[in-house]
Amino acid sequence: MTDPRKPNPQDPQGFPCPKCGEAVSPFEIDLVTTVDFCQDCKVMWFKAGGIGKICGLPKDLPDLAFSLRRSRDSGLKCPVCIPEKDLKVMKFSPMAELEIDYCAECEGILLDAGEYAAVQRIRREFTAPSVENIHEDSFMPTSNDRWVNLLALPCAFALSALIESFFPIIRFFLYGAISMPIHELGHAMTAWLCSRAAVPLPFVTLRLSYTRSVWIYVITNLILLFFANYSHQKKLRFPLLISQGFMFLSFWFTWVLSPTQQNMAITYGGEGGTWILGTLLVCAFFHQVPVRQWALIRPALLFCGAYGMVQRFFFFQEIRSGKQELPEIAAYGLDSDFKVLNETYGWGLSEITDHFLKLGKVCFFFVFLYSIFQWNRTRRVV
């Protein structure tokens, strides 16, 4: 039943425009959707659910909690609510600069001239599914699904542990498809942070230089600076922090560490990188990234990170229990990282095992804590 105190937004007489005071009139967006439009200042008023309905999505704003935390008074009043409520100026999404006017009471949205086109463009670029994908957003989780944020991580770890324990053929395949590429990427990224040229391959990292290069340092930091600037423009805090952290490590590894320490860091980077990169992949699951099909990519990243961490944890637990020994030979007959750390840099074999198990426990604790934080952050998202 319509509240008699409130003007009917579909009434031909309309209600006063929040900006100029002129009466708004019905305006057909498409064959089935009508909004309230001011002929004078060209603003549009959308009732709750209106924008989402037009765009074919379940809700108007991609991240309501994010937008509300950063909202401010607009100085305008809601044209529908009685008594009048203040409209809030807020970002349409974390990934866009567009600002809208929003009523927290009736959830109506006021768009200025040109902002409706911007909303459609943002939806199309970042979140709107195509017809061929059958509106996949209707069943794929987003970073704002709090129960998905809470349950996805333990489910990914449980599935990884199940594979490691009972499915040796799948375990063998995933070791080559996930664990080793992450391991070699850890070597290569550490080399890049030390300003060395390196190329990661599935089972080995080609080190093209054994001394630091100013050119490698400049190229690495230009790439990191590009990602940091892009993340800042899109208000993506997680990638921004990662980029800044890697820039600091690049400076420290290149100009502070000695050549011997750099070589040890690159050797360490394989096993250490498996844990650290796995942690970053898991954490990326909880964030929106302006990439097409991100709803499909993020669970794949979660599983890759979780499996890499679980696989190494099982491996070092077997070493500690005496079921197997640390290998001395790696792919292509090369010395393993463990042998190099032991014979070249003086790490004891038991020290190596204990160290990486402790690192793993820290990473596990961090990602579980982070998942709880993300669940708490999104508890008010509707």
At 49 the pLDDT is 79
Using one digit for the tens of pLDDT, what is the confidence trace for 168-185?
999 999 999 999 999 999
> Which residues of the chain are under the pLDDT cut of 70?
1-14, 29-33, 54-58, 94-97, 116-146, 290, 292, 377-382
SS3 254: helix
| Last residue of one domain, picked from the residues 117, 138, 159 | 138
369 and 353 assigned to the same domain: yes
At 2 the pLDDT is 37
- Is 3 a member of any domain? no
In the numeric block, which tokens belong to residue 178? 């996930």
Measured distance between the N- and C-terminal CA atoms of the chain, rounded to whole angstroms: 24
At 8 the pLDDT is 43
At 221 the pLDDT is 96
Using one digit for the tens of pLDDT, what is the confidence trace for 55-66?
666 677 777 777
**The amino acid at 48:** A
* CA angle, residues 75, 78, 83, in degrees to nearest 5: 105
At 270 the pLDDT is 93
- Is 127 a member of any domain? yes
Instruction: Give CA–CA dist 295/286, Å, rounded.
Output: 11
201 and 56 assigned to the same domain: no
DSSP one-letter code for 211: S
SS3 223: helix
Distances 349 to 187, 246, 357 between C-alpha atoms, Å: 20, 29, 13
Q: What pTM did the predictor assign?
A: 0.67
Phi-psi group of 282: left, alpha or beta (phi > 0 → left; psi -120 to 50 → alpha; rest → beta): alpha
In the numeric block, which tokens belong to residue 105? 């009471």
SS3 25: strand
Q: Name the domain count of the chain.
A: 2
CB atoms within 10 A of CB 98: 16
Contacts 24+ apart (CB under 8 A), 175-178: 175/311, 176/202, 176/203, 178/304, 178/307, 178/308, 178/311
166 and 307 assigned to the same domain: yes
124 and 161 assigned to the same domain: no
92 and 172 assigned to the same domain: no
Helix (H) or strand (E) holding 166: helix 146-166
196 and 282 assigned to the same domain: yes
| Last residue of one domain, picked from the residues 110, 138, 166 | 138
369 and 268 assigned to the same domain: yes
HSE of 171, CA atoms in CB hemisphere, 13 A = 15
Using one digit for the tens of pLDDT, what is the confidence trace for 81-140?
878 788 888 877 766 667 888 888 888 888 887 776 666 665 554 443 433 333 333 334
Rg of the chain, C-alpha, whole Å: 27
| Last residue of one domain, picked from the residues 79, 110, 138 | 138
CA-wise closest residue to 377 among 149, 224, 161, 167: 149
132 and 151 assigned to the same domain: no
* CA angle, residues 299, 303, 309, in degrees to nearest 5: 145
Range of the structural domain that residue 125 is part of:
25-138
Distances 76 to 100, 111, 145, 155, 213 between C-alpha atoms, Å: 12, 12, 31, 46, 57
- Is 370 a member of any domain? yes
Contacts 24+ apart (CB under 8 A), 135-139: 135/56, 136/295, 136/296, 137/57, 137/58, 137/295, 138/58
SS3 216: helix
- Is 12 a member of any domain? no
At 170 the pLDDT is 95
Using one digit for the tens of pLDDT, what is the confidence trace for 311-329?
999 999 999 999 889 998 8
**Residue 24 φ/ψ, nearest 5 degrees:** -85, 165
At 381 the pLDDT is 41
224 and 294 assigned to the same domain: yes
Helix (H) or strand (E) holding 241: helix 237-255
199 and 86 assigned to the same domain: no
CB atoms within 10 A of CB 205: 21
205 and 351 assigned to the same domain: yes
At 32 the pLDDT is 60
